[in-house]
Structure 1
Amino acid sequence: MHFTFIFSLSLVFAVVVVKTQTTGTTTTTWDCCEPACGYAANLSPGATGPVKSCSQSNGPAASGAQNACFASGGNLAFSCSTFQPIIVNDTMSYGFAGHGNTATDNCCKCFQFSWTSGAGIGKSMIVQAVNAGGITETDFDIYTPGGGVGDYNACTAQYGAPSGGWGRQYGGVSSDAECSQLPSSLQDGCHWRWQWAGGDVNEWAITYQQVNCPSELTSISGCTPALI
């Protein structure tokens, strides 16, 4: 089994934090839809982008491609497989998430959170907001293969997933073993939840604050927010 590791740990500690900590929760998602931050009109003030979207085969989406969750046909835009979590070390990961109920408030901004409940206590993530539509304003819906399709499902069109996605529609697969249901290109990101985070991740409590984005995330998403 192969995981992607980042060894430029100085970047983790160099991140500038200027916002007051807020409490929230984490959930998981992987609906394969084009992210809301893939639309230039949704970018937060000062951000340059938009977030990249991909074709069915995870190449760049073609010009004029329509969000696969709201359209059908041959020219569709999906989430990119590169939005899977990235392990930095035993206590830090990078990733992408939906955050807040209004895309323009948060699109492309980065946040660092630490879990205060669940098996993730003592572990942290820095995530870039590429979508909206979390459970609450303070929820982070972490992009995790096998994390549940939720209200919309483009994974059937992109990967041939079951009509309700892999595992539970809300919450996704229920064990590490069920990650074998996913395409091989997505299995590392599925295993991340169980093998690095240590469990289901859904409804774990966190404290979080806005930070400047690591280049590892902006280089994947193609979107850079205004500095804080």
Structure 2
Amino acid sequence: MPSKLYLIIVTAFTAIALVNGQTAGTTTTTWDCCEPACGYTSNLSPGARGPVQSCNKSNQPAAAGAQNACFASSGNLAFSCDKYQPIIVNSTFSYGFAGHGNTATSTCCKCYQFTWTSGAGAGKSMIVQAINAGGITDTDFDIYTPGGGVGDYNACTAQYGAPSGGWGRQYGGVTSDSQCSQLPSNLQAGCHWRWEWAGGDVNEWQITYKQVNCPSQLTSLSGCTPAAI
């Protein structure tokens, strides 16, 4: 028979990891302009059809054989597309895209629904499609948000002439809605989303989430459809 200590530990772990049958995690923000990791067919999760679309400097489809702009500096380059900004559905629900998980083949193109349980966005929800992975924990979602911080890699200088450390903080990005005016006009709506819809910085807010089938509103933009669940 398990010891009382063992049962206490298991119960505590379950309470932390699962809330009403959902997994607990956190959100962060990113916009590094790199070609998404899920843009490589070899990175797709089992059964997914894709890969995720990448774009050229002008946000048109990247040419065949284009190299990730975060790892190449000249020639035929591939960037993230401006269509990966958050999409507002109503005052409490949005669609979007995110990096999720450290192993691409485990998460690429899958969709997840989460609800914030802390921060100014508490009670608001998103469905996001994972288009990037690597360097992200298995319970965190790095939401694609213009002005959300370039993080470890920066192709925004090559694509948009952004400062060498990106707009705002390298990790976390701009710190106010007014700073969204620093971004190119085609990215400003996604920057405002964070402050005007979510209500704040979004970084390190707590969530509960679960995997869901991907809506066409996301797969039609990314070009990638995961296996149904």
- TM-score norm. by structure 1 comes to 0.91
Code of the aligned partner of 2:174: V
Correspondence for 1:142: 143
Which runs of structure 2 are paired with 1:75-90 in the superposition (5 Å)? 75-90=76-91
- The alpha-carbon deviation at position 167 of structure 1 amounts to 0.1
Correspondence for 2:28: 27
Structure 2's unaligned 5+ residue stretches are 1-19
Distance 2:158 2:27 in 1: 27
Distance 1:134 1:170 in 2: 13
Contact 1:44 1:105 in 2 (8 A): yes
Contact 2:38 2:51 in 1 (8 A): yes
- The alpha-carbon deviation at position 137 of structure 1 amounts to 1.6
Distance 1:214 1:88 in 2: 13
Code of the aligned partner of 2:109: C
CA distance 1:197–1:134, change in 2 (3 Å):
farther
Give SS of 2:194's match.
helix
Correspondence for 1:187: 188
Give SS of 2:58's match.
coil
Distance 1:39 1:63 in 2: 12
Code of the aligned partner of 1:76: L
Contact 1:58 1:81 in 2 (8 A): yes
CA distance 1:195–1:134, change in 2 (3 Å):
farther
- Percent identical pairs in the alignment equals 83
Correspondence for 2:221: 220
- TM-score norm. by structure 2 comes to 0.90
Distance 1:135 1:117 in 2: 20
- The alpha-carbon deviation at position 133 of structure 1 amounts to 2.8
Distance 1:20 1:37 in 2: 28
Give SS of 1:216's match.
helix
Q: Deviations over 1:127-153 (max 9, x none)?
A: 000000354220000000000000000
Which runs of structure 2 are paired with 1:50-89 in the superposition (5 Å)? 50-89=51-90
Moved more, 126-135 or 152-161: 126-135
Q: Deviations over 1:6-56 (max 9, x none)?
A: xxxxxxxxxxxxx94100000000000000000000000000000000000
> Residue 131 in 1 paired to residue 132 in 2?
yes
Q: Deviations over 1:68-110 (max 9, x none)?
A: 0001112100000000000000100000000000000000000
Contact 1:47 1:225 in 2 (8 A): yes
Contact 1:134 1:141 in 2 (8 A): no
Q: Deviations over 1:139-198 (max 9, x none)?
A: 000000000000000000000000000000000000000000000000000000000000
Correspondence for 1:16: none
- The alpha-carbon deviation at position 118 of structure 1 amounts to 0.1
Moved more, 66-75 or 173-182: 66-75
How many residues get paired? 210
Distance 2:88 2:26 in 1: 20
Distance 1:132 1:154 in 2: 17
- Based on CA coordinates, which of the two structures has the bigger radius of gyration? 2
Distance 1:124 1:82 in 2: 20
Correspondence for 1:4: none
Moved over 6 A (4+): none
Distance 1:80 1:20 in 2: 34
Distance 1:174 1:198 in 2: 12
Correspondence for 1:164: 165
Q: CA RMSD in A?
A: 1.0
Structure 1's unaligned 5+ residue stretches are 1-18
